[in-house]
Amino acid sequence: MAENDKEKKTGLGRREFLKAAATTPVLGAFAYSVAKKGTEIESSREEILSLGKKVTGSNPNIVKRNYKRKASASDKLKIGFIGIGGRGKFHMRSCGFYPEDEETPRGLEGQEDLNIECTAICDLFQPNIDWALKATRGKAKVYRTYQELFDQSDVDMVLIATSDNAHAPITIAAAQAGKHVYVEKCMTRTIKEAFAVREAVKKNGIIFQLGHQNRDSNRYDSAMEVIDKGLLGQVSLIQCYTNRNTPSGAWVYGIPKEHGPLKGEGGSGAHNVDWEQYVAFTPHPDRPYDPNRFFRWRCYWDYGTGLSGDLLTHELDVINMVMNLGIPETCVASGGIYYYKEYKTMMTADGEPISADKPLPEGAVPRPDVPVIRREVPDVFQVTYEWPDRDLTVVYNATLANEHERGHIYMGDEAFMDLTNGVDVYADPISKRYKALIEKGKVKVDEPMVSYRNVAGKGIEAITSATAQWTVSKGLLYTYRGGRLVNTTYLHIKNWVDHIRDNDPKTMCDIDDGFQEAITAHMATMSFLRGCRTRWDKENEQVIFDLKGEDELAVFDSV
């Protein structure tokens, strides 16, 4: 009986085990299906990349991206900040200087300390100086003028974030004083200044960085690889754009309640704006105090560079880096003030300033201390640049009255690359090179065949399906490095400081890149203002107005 029981039990045991393990083959089926699918995707990617035709590494900008500092960072360097407005404050925060009562800036965790101290600050607006003093915990010395800063302080380098009109004079003074310079874009306000700055920087051998921190976004590593491998075929047209739809996006910034020139009357009666110094470097140094011209300087040609220097440069500088283009041969620009024709600055019934972006509360009244602003620079602006020696055109479209994201797109005969959200490469439906893959279904025409996204995690490269992933738009604020969110301004400043320590002038956006950026932008401004095509005369290094002869027209006319 006992043996029978035992037999029964073991019989049951085996059967029971089989019943329990009945679904295990499902796991096997899963593993098999997944393995089959995996190899399918892999071969597509290898096939695609192997179809690239060019030799890798032909873009010198790729070398710059792989730069690593050689010298140690044990010496504390001294920095001075000149121009501490909106952008300047972001610079200071990115370097780790911020008031105690403010939140720790994002994007700096786990990043190497720059080992710099701020010993000098200079600004024309007293509240900015007060903020900067708090940001340096009172350690920096305040200088009324930049000349005094260079004469008296012992800074090693300066970071310039003033209005565009002061970029050139201050950079040149810095170079002559032997101080390294990081200056915000646009490098200069005029073409003459671009030449002067280039000469001063090169002659004095300082380390120079132009503030195009979006270059440090790691998506451009992938973009440059795509171009370098020739995945797109021949690129004939590149489209880039700026679309915004808020008054502050159109540079109608807020004006503080208390403001006024140091000397004389004006504004709300305060005396916190060094107006005299401000207008000294402009074509009209005897203009009376006007808060619109100080706080909303980007709206005027005397202080700003309009859409060309302000926003077009973000796009063109990146295209220059990715494609290694240099200065365009010709430029045609047009546009106008089609939307932000005038704006009356308002305040609440009890005199508090109101942001132009917010809807007006009840009882809002016009501010008596701020005149109606009528901008000089266009708010809708289109520019066409030609590079006949590269067989390509770059088109820049901008409107400050629409928020649609249109695509930063490189169009080649085999594929196109879209840099709006990351790096997405789509095969062209008529592509010859990818035809076989398209027919086999390994490449779908309406999905990226190769996609690089900034993802929180490891590398920059991930083949993804085109599902929504968060990306850091354009890299103007943050990017991802080694799995963390990193502030690109910090990276760009670090790149500059590292090059200072190494005494290596080839920064991420060096003086040659800066010169190209400035000329490219100003060619557009000149074309717009004169209503005529501009041409870069490479031999004589000058920008000229360009018109073809009557003979060229005869083909059309004679018909």
Q: By the criterion CB under 8 A, which residues form the site for other proteins?
A: 12, 16-17, 19-24, 26-27, 30, 34, 38, 109, 455-462, 464, 468-471, 483
Considering the complex, state which of residue 27 and residue 555 has its C-beta at the smaller distance from other proteins.
Answer: 27
CB of 540 to other proteins, least distance (A): 50
In whole angstroms, what is the distance from residue 328 CA to residue 384 CA?
Answer: 10
The secondary structure of 357-404 as a DSSP string is TSPPPTT-EE-TTSPPB--SS-SEEEEEEEEGGGTEEEEEEEESS---
Contact by Cβ (8 Å): 347, 356: no
1 vs 55 by CB, closer to other proteins: 1
What residue type is 218 in one-letter code? N
- Residue 50 CB, nearest approach to other proteins (Å): 20
Output the smallest distance, CB 424 to other proteins, in A. 15
- Report, in Å, the least distance between residue 375 CB and other proteins: 34
Nearest approach, Cβ of residue 444 and other proteins (Å)? 16
**Is the CB of 313 or the CB of 421 nearer to other proteins?**
421
Pairing between strand 533-537 and 542-546?
antiparallel
The full 3-state SS of 204-222, as one line of letters, equals: HCCCEEECCHHHHCCHHHH
Residue with smaller CB distance to other proteins, 412 or 448: 448
Q: What does each C-alpha distance from 338 to 283, 299, 371, 401, 429 come to in angstroms?
A: 26, 14, 20, 9, 38
Among residues 27 and 559, whose Cβ is nearest to other proteins? 27
Give the nearest distance from C-beta 434 to other proteins in angstroms.
Answer: 24
Within 177-269, residue ranges assigned H as helices are 191-204, 219-228
In the complex with other proteins, which residue's Cβ is closer, 8 or 530? 8
Of 360 and 456, the one with the shorter C-beta distance to other proteins is: 456
Least gap, CB of 460 to other proteins (angstroms): 8
Instruction: Output 401 or 455, the one with its CB closest to other proteins.
Output: 455
- Contact, 433 vs 51, CB < 8 A? yes
Single-letter code of the amino acid located at 286: D
Nearest to other proteins of 283, 457 (CB atom) = 457
| Beta strand pairing call for 330-336 and 380-387 | antiparallel
The residues, any chain, with a CB within 8 Å of residue 305's CB and separated by 6 or more, are 164, 186, 189, 521, 522, 525
The CB density around residue 388, as the number of other CB atoms within 10 Å, is 10
Amino acid in position 61: N
CB nearer to other proteins: pick between 17 and 545 = 17
Residues 6+ apart with CB under 8 A from 278: 124, 163, 294
CB of 457 to other proteins, least distance (A): 3
With CA atoms as reference, report the closest residue to 341 among 292, 307, 310, 379.
Answer: 379
CA–CA gap between residue 193 and residue 518 (Å, rounded): 9
Least distance in Å: CB of 486 to other proteins? 13
Q: How far is the CB of 508 from other proteins (least distance, A)?
A: 23
Rounded distance, CA 319 to CA 448, Å? 21
